[in-house]
Amino acid sequence: MTTTIPALAAPAAGQPLVRTTIEVRTPGAHDVAIDIKFAGICHSDIHQARDEWSVGLFPMVPGHEIAGIVSAVGSDVSRYQVGDRVGVGCFVDSCRECVNCLAGEEQYCLKGEVGTYNDRYYDGTATNGGYSTAVVVDENYVLGIPEGIELSEAAPLLCAGITLYSPLKNWKAGPGKKVAILGMGGLGHMGVKIAHALGAEVTVLSQTLSKQEDGLRFGADHYYATSDPTTFTELENHFDLIVNTVAANLDMERYLQLLALDGTLVHVGIPTEPDSVKMFWLASQRRSIAGSKIGGIRQTQEMLDFCAAHGIGADIEVITVDQVNEAYERVIRSDVRYRFVIDVASFANETRVGA
């Protein structure tokens, strides 16, 4: 059985999102049904709705930053109960058998993790995202949202938060480490907050100083404009870690020269075109280039608990479902501080699943 619920979908690649309805399965024995309260808008939603990364599945209901309340649970669910505050991030299943899944790194599942939207479960059923009023997910892929974080501010943590927390933890940002966050957008502002809470010395590298006041308020110790050539001479051989959040092609060689001995430049922003670098800039100071995606379920829960303990949430602008197309254009113009979140109550006639 299924339940029909309101949703917002891209009917075809590049077309404006429109109100529609979708079918949501009745919870199985291990499923959790969630009344979605807030859904964050990620730049990757725009890339996928516009077919900028690969061929998409349309009509597409985007959204992998989901925060809501449990409305029903399956008979064998042990982790959650009705009324719990929960979230769903970037994937809703994985093979659970490969070495990466068994290590708690489901985001790197060798069979391919099942994306929250624009993907198919292993049985071929299409997935739909959080631009809707409800979702049903296996309990193993549901996260608990601790008290102390507003649901609206927690939603972006399910992608933006874990996208920055994972490399900062994996490359050991903390006391005694000099960390640069490249870019001060939706991802970057979370990186500043988390790196500061981890105890690192935090520098923001942004094109201009227009967001300097915000960056310092979020916990940055230093703020530099990359449009100023003196930035690259003053900070040469300086950082242990640079996390690049910019989803555009930059002159990577300039940034590699900012790394100290054994420093690493980690990419979390994903440009559409390839980059190239001279290997000299890696070999000269034993520098490294790396990439990072998100985190596994265990690390994502750790991130949520960490953020609650340190009073960290995303800085957001709450919008209605009818403002999403405008919000997409504003994201492209970098006209948001710092993350759009859809108030799902703006859908008329919410429908509970599994009740």
* Domain spans of the chain, in order of start: 2-159+313-348, 160-291
Write down the pLDDT at residue 84: 98
Per-residue pLDDT band for 1 (boundaries 50, 70, 90) equals: confident
Q: Which residue has the tokens 């949202």?
A: 145
For the domain bounded by 2-159+313-348, which CATH number is listed?
A: 3.90.180.10
Average pLDDT over residues 95-118: 98
Write down the pLDDT at residue 348: 76
Other CB atoms closer than 10 Å to residue 269's CB: what's the count?
A: 19
Per-residue pLDDT band for 247 (boundaries 50, 70, 90) equals: confident
Write down the pLDDT at residue 270: 85
Write down the pLDDT at residue 332: 93
Residue 96, sorted as left (phi over 0), alpha (psi -120 to 50) or beta, turns out to be: left
The reported pTM is 0.95
36 and 130 in contact (C-beta within 8 Å)? yes
Calpha distance 129→56 (Å, rounded): 13
Per-residue pLDDT band for 300 (boundaries 50, 70, 90) equals: very high
Residue 143 Cα distances to 146, 155, 172, 216, 255, angstroms? 9, 11, 24, 30, 35
Per-residue pLDDT band for 23 (boundaries 50, 70, 90) equals: very high
157 SS3 class: helix
Q: What percent of the chain shows pLDDT beyond 70?
A: 98
Average confidence score pLDDT of the chain: 96
Per-residue pLDDT band for 271 (boundaries 50, 70, 90) equals: confident
Write down the pLDDT at residue 55: 86
The angle formed by the CA atoms of residues 160, 117 and 291, to the nearest 5 degrees, is: 40
Per-residue pLDDT band for 354 (boundaries 50, 70, 90) equals: low
pLDDT at residue 95 greater than cutoff 60:
yes
pLDDT at residue 255 greater than cutoff 60:
yes
The closest alpha carbon to 185, from 38, 342, 42, 343, belongs to 42
pLDDT at residue 352 greater than cutoff 60:
no
Calpha distance 49→125 (Å, rounded): 19
- State pLDDT tens for residues 168-219: 999 999 999 999 999 999 999 999 999 999 999 999 999 999 999 999 999 9
Question: Which CATH number is correct for 160-291, 3.40.50.720, 3.30.565.10, 3.40.50.300, 3.40.50.2300?
Answer: 3.40.50.720
